[in-house]
Chains A and B, each alone.
Chain A
Amino acid sequence: MGQVREVDAAEITRAVRELCMEINYKVPEDMVAAIKRAREKEESPIGRQILDLLIRNQELAAEGEYPYCQDTGYTVVFIDVGQDVHIVGGDLTDAINEGVRSGYRDAYLRASIVADPVFERRNTGDNTPAFIHTRIVPGDQIRIQVDAKGGGSENKGRHAMLKPSDGLEGVKRFVLRTVEEAGPDACPPGIIGVGIGGNFEYVAILAKRALMRKVGQPHPDPRVAELEAELFEKCNALGIGPQSLGGTQTVLAVHVETMATHIASLPVAVNIECHAHRTGTRVI
């Protein structure tokens, strides 16, 4: 049995705060590179103009005065806690939310969360609560990945319980249908996160986790990587293009995650990320 390592909750707050403050201004390097690649490949003149504007928007935001997008997102937090860690000095959830609260306030980020979905829809005023996914993992470290997820693209996600007989072709059609219906609303070009397998709730989290990978990094399983490449080509064949003004670059990457499922089921979920892909990671 490993030694127990104490981590102060304040360290978690600090990490979350810093990530919120950084990612909304400075788009990650892999996303900067992906937009540049799309600019090189785009065949439509208006598509190239749009991508040039997105590059300027990235550069302007990186100067630190204006966030990349006014929708500074749901704050989604993936936290992997080593089982040999003992968190002291506060509650983990509170620590994360305090990081969001202070980070959003001090970096002039928008409060975009309402306290309830259908009654008063009163804005909580500080972008809390965060949407937290916790895993207990081996080791004595804490890994925190924060994603500022825009609501417009989130709204275009879809989830289906297909039949096993629908097979791989059914999955491909579902992904294409989702990207087609999202059209301009999801601010293309973006990343398509696909979850296949699991059950009703796991498949949605798979799709979200798929978005957290480095942009365009293929899945280690060659069968999944081949599916990603095929979906990438087909999504771009839709011709939607940057801002849906027509073009060859509709998606920057398709990431697929899979897991075991039931003999009766073929769950599939598609989570769309817009070109404002804002994520970062800290290890404590």
Chain B
Amino acid sequence: MSVELLPDGRKRIRAPLSDEDVRQLRVGDVVLVSGIVYAARDAAHKRIIELLDAGEPIPFDPAGQIVYYVGPTPERPGHVIGSAGPTTASRMDRYTPRLLELGLKGLIGKGGRGPTVREALKRHTAVYMAALGGGGALAALQIRGQRVIAFEDLGPEAVRELEVEDLPVWVVNDCEGRDFYEQAVAPWRRDELLPEEFRLGTRP
């Protein structure tokens, strides 16, 4: 079992994740990620898809794994890594369904995902989670190891194997198609102060 329920209600996960593990993660859950995650962002995704199109092997087997959209700052001597917060996830939307088809189970970034990815998360039983956007210094403290495994020429965009310990994230899109941002924002909208097209009618 790769999902551990903690006494405070948070959940700790560790790859590889099964479909059953993913089904236990629901919108709004606070999750601590431990173990191995693969760092890959824009340029790495582009190359991975090109390799798949060419029938070539890719840097890691996505089955059951977690990808973290991050391009860290260079590590200072004696440090494992530099700042390492998430980048905007929607830029990877074009590439994500292909990796989900190959069994990728977890995605970590920041910001929302488009309808195609949300649908693909349902179809392939996978989950998208957001880390603290702009919290790069805090994220660095949760990373215990890093190793560049492919595309070193891409510098900060190289593919890395990261060993993380209790990296805090929250579930934004679960495998049942829910979206946490939609749910979270609506109760706080103050329609009376806004032009008509921005009113949600959700607050009495």
Contacts A184-B111, A187-B133 given; indicate if A246 touches B188 (C-beta within 8 A): yes
Instruction: Give chain B residues whose Cβ lies under 8 Å from the Cβ of A244.
Output: 111-112, 181, 184-185
Contact across chains for B138 and A172 when beta carbons are under 8 A apart: no
Contact across chains for A185 and B194 when beta carbons are under 8 A apart: no
A179, chain B: closest CB distance, angstroms = 10
Residue of A nearest to B90 (CB): A185
Q: Is A239 an interface residue (CB 8 A)?
A: yes
Contact across chains for B157 and A123 when beta carbons are under 8 A apart: yes
Contact across chains for B193 and A237 when beta carbons are under 8 A apart: yes
| Measured CA separation A239–B190 after assembly (Å) | 7
Instruction: Give chain B residues whose Cβ lies under 8 Å from the Cβ of A248.
Output: 188
Q: Is B195 an interface residue (CB 8 A)?
A: yes
Residue of A nearest to B132 (CB): A53
Instruction: Give chain A residues whose Cβ lies under 8 Å from the Cβ of B185.
Output: 183, 238-241, 244-246
Contact across chains for B136 and A237 when beta carbons are under 8 A apart: no
Contact across chains for B193 and A274 when beta carbons are under 8 A apart: no
Contact across chains for B184 and A176 when beta carbons are under 8 A apart: no
Residue of A nearest to B199 (CB): A237
Q: Is B130 an interface residue (CB 8 A)?
A: yes
Contacts A123-B156, A152-B88, A185-B112 given; indicate if A68 touches B134 (C-beta within 8 A): yes
Q: Is A234 an interface residue (CB 8 A)?
A: yes
Contact with A along B134-167 (1 / 0, CB 8 A): 1111111100000000000011110000000000
Contact with B along A222-255 (1 / 0, CB 8 A): 0000000000011001111101111110000000
Contact across chains for B75 and A108 when beta carbons are under 8 A apart: yes
Interface segment, one of B2-10, B11-19, B77-85, B97-105: B77-85
Contact across chains for B85 and A70 when beta carbons are under 8 A apart: yes
Contact across chains for B111 and A183 when beta carbons are under 8 A apart: yes
| Measured CA separation A112–B43 after assembly (Å) | 12
Residue of A nearest to B183 (CB): A246
Chain A residues 144-170 with CB under 8 Å of chain B are: 150, 152, 155, 169
| Measured CA separation A268–B189 after assembly (Å) | 25
Chain B interface size range: 35 or more
Contacts A69-B83, A108-B76 given; indicate if A239 touches B110 (C-beta within 8 A): no
Q: Is B198 an interface residue (CB 8 A)?
A: yes
A65, chain B: closest CB distance, angstroms = 6
Contact with A along B51-88 (1 / 0, CB 8 A): 00000000000000000001111111001001111011
B146, chain A: closest CB distance, angstroms = 13
Interface segment, one of A55-63, A133-141, A193-201, A208-216: A55-63
Contacts A108-B76, A110-B82, A187-B133 given; indicate if A239 touches B189 (C-beta within 8 A): yes
Chain A interface size range: 35 or more
Contact across chains for A67 and B111 when beta carbons are under 8 A apart: no
Contacts A66-B83, A108-B75, A183-B181 given; indicate if A150 touches B156 (C-beta within 8 A): no
Q: Is A89 an interface residue (CB 8 A)?
A: no
Contact across chains for A276 and B134 when beta carbons are under 8 A apart: yes
Chain A: residues with CB nearer than 8 A to chain B? Answer: 43-44, 46, 50, 53-54, 56-57, 60-61, 65-72, 108-112, 121, 123, 125, 150, 152, 155, 169, 172-173, 176, 180, 183-185, 187, 233-234, 237-241, 243-248, 274-276
Known: A57-B138, A239-B186; 10 extra A-B contacts, CB below 8 A, are: A53-B132, A60-B141, A67-B73, A70-B82, A123-B157, A150-B134, A183-B185, A185-B112, A239-B187, A244-B185
CB pairs A–B below 8 angstroms (19 shown): A53-B132, A67-B82, A71-B71, A71-B85, A108-B75, A152-B87, A152-B110, A169-B195, A173-B197, A184-B111, A184-B133, A184-B181, A234-B193, A240-B185, A241-B185, A243-B133, A244-B111, A244-B112, A245-B180
Q: Which 9 A-B pairs have the closest CB atoms?
A: A239-B188, A185-B111, A246-B184, A66-B137, A239-B189, A237-B193, A70-B136, A237-B190, A70-B83
